[in-house]
């Protein structure tokens, strides 16, 4: 037969020399200095009287007698309800004593059924932290690869090359002078092609922007190359621009040399990193489109200098992805 620990004053597990009231199920807030008449610690419930000489009935509470030490690591009571403390290498939880063969009573402050930290809350916190970490890594990669909102290129309409029927996006805030024969020519911020004869830093100039020897921080137009086939048009374009080394330009790297598409048409992209005669770095992209007109193939040409305040190279993608291939316009209808 098993009985619960009866209510009473017992040694306070959390304060030496004090007693705390046990209400039969848990510790209460009531405490007092220890008295000699106190039962000490709660007894082990349900000890059958026939197992202890001079034992007590199982339905009657018998407080233990005064405690006495009987050796290192051991503690026993001198009367019935003998208490047992763990020997060497054994330990109970804080504030707990155990009657031999009995689960220790809970320490003050514990509540029945109280467990450890809520696992669901912990998992939720871990999930949130993981999302924040991953989100931070993605944002860092976007910045490092130059793919954030700052690289989005705004457009303002289109420009049509009547001879090839190809139209390209007009980049917002770029100058479109429309000189005769170059209706798709657009550019941004003139710089001296040779800084020694103009701005020594290669910075944008406030002078006229239509001189024949002008360079620009950003420039784009639809060119053509004559060839008997699309593949030969690609080869001739590559040889033409890779051969600029003999004219004071130095090819630093071939950034792209890949097949692509423009408005569903077969195309090929060439992109180069070049050092110009003034020692400045520029990037040039040429997209040859398989849309032959009278032996000529359209070439979407875009050049961006690697200088302060230069346009983003996202212009390359904007021009290529936004280009449309239509029908050529007769010269007498061209505007």
User: Where are the chain's structural domains?
Assistant: 1-113, 116-145, 154-329
* CA 123 – CA 102 distance, rounded (Å): 35
- Region label for 147, one of left (φ > 0), alpha (ψ between -120 and 50) or beta (otherwise): alpha
Taking CB atoms within 8 Å and a gap of at least 24, the contacts of 279-285 are 280/195, 280/202, 280/305, 280/306, 280/307, 281/252, 281/305, 281/306, 282/306, 283/255, 283/313, 283/316, 284/241, 285/256, 285/316, 285/319, 285/320
> pLDDT tens string for the chain (335 positions)?
456 788 998 888 888 889 999 988 899 988 898 876 655 555 444 443 343 333 444 444 444 444 444 444 444 444 444 444 444 444 444 444 444 444 445 555 554 444 445 556 667 777 776 766 666 666 655 545 544 444 468 999 999 999 999 999 999 999 998 766 789 999 999 988 876 544 434 444 444 444 446 789 999 999 999 999 999 999 999 998 887 766 688 999 999 999 999 999 999 999 999 999 889 999 999 999 999 999 999 999 999 999 999 999 999 999 999 999 999 988 764 44
d(CA 102, CA 270): 83
- How buried is residue 293: exposed, middle or buried, by Cβ count under 10 Å (0-12/13-18/19+)? middle
Residue 70 is predicted with a pLDDT of: 43
User: How many angstroms separate the CA atoms of 226 and 297, rounded?
Assistant: 6
Where do the DSSP E strands lie in 56-205? 67-69, 75-77, 83-84, 98-99, 155-161, 166-171, 186-191
Whole-number pLDDT of residue 81? 42
DSSP annotation of 9 reads: E
Q: Is residue 12 a contact partner of residue 19, using CB atoms and an 8 Å limit?
A: yes
| The pLDDT value given to residue 142 | 53
Beta strand 83-84 pairing with 98-99 = antiparallel
Q: According to the model, what pLDDT value does residue 125 have?
A: 74
- Radius of gyration (C-alpha) of the chain in whole angstroms: 45
As a whole number of angstroms, the distance between CA 84 and CA 72 comes to: 12
Task: Give the count of alpha carbons within 13 A of 244, CB side only.
Answer: 17
Residue 188: strand pairing partners: 218
Burial 66-76 (b: 16+ CB within 10 A, else e): eeeeeeeeebb
Rounded Cα distance, 252 and 48, in Å: 95
Per CATH, is 154-329 categorized as 3.90.220.20? no
Do 53 and 44 contact (CB within 8 A), yes or no?
Answer: no
Sheet holding 281-289, edge to edge: 186-191, 215-226, 296-305, 281-289, 265-275, 250-262
Integer Cα distance of 281 and 284 in angstroms: 10
Q: Residue 314 corresponds to which tokens in the numbers above?
A: 């996202």
- pLDDT for 135: 67
């Amino acid at each position: 037969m098993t009985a619960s620990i009866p209510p009473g004053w017992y040694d306070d597990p959390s304060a030496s020399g004090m007693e705390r009231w046990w209400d039969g199920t848990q510790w209460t807030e009531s405490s007092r200095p220890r008295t000699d008449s106190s039962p000490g610690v709660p007894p082990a419930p349900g000890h059958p009287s026939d197992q202890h000489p001079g034992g007590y009935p199982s339905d009657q509470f018998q407080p233990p007698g005064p405690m006495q030490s009987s050796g290192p690591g051991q503690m026993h009571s001198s009367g019935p309800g003998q208490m047992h403390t763990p020997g060497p290498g054994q330990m109970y939880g804080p504030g707990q004593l155990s009657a031999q063969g009995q689960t220790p009573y809970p320490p003050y402050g514990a509540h029945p059924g109280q467990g450890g930290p809520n696992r669901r809350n912990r998992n939720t916190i871990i999930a949130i932290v993981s999302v924040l970490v991953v989100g931070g890594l993605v944002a860092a990669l976007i910045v490092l690869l130059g793919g954030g909102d700052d690289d989005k290129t705004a457009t303002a309409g289109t420009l049509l090359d009547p001879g090839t029927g190809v139209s390209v996006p007009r980049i917002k805030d770029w100058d479109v002078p429309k000189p005769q024969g170059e209706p798709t020519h657009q550019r941004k911020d003139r710089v001296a092609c040779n800084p020694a004869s103009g701005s020594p830093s290669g910075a944008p100039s406030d002078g006229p922007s239509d001189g024949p020897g002008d360079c620009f921080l950003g420039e784009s137009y639809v060119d053509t190359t004559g060839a008997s086939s699309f593949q030969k048009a690609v080869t001739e374009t590559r040889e033409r621009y890779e051969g600029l080394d003999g004219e004071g330009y130095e090819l630093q790297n071939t950034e792209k040399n890949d097949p692509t598409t423009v408005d569903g048409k077969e195309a090929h992209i060439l992109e180069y990193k070049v050092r110009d005669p003034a020692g400045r770095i520029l990037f040039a992209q040429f997209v040859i489109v398989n849309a032959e007109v009278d032996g000529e193939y359209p070439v979407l040409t875009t050049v961006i200098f690697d200088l302060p305040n230069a346009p983003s190279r996202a212009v390359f993608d904007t021009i290529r992805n936004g280009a449309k291939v239509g029908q050529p316009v007769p010269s007498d209808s061209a505007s």
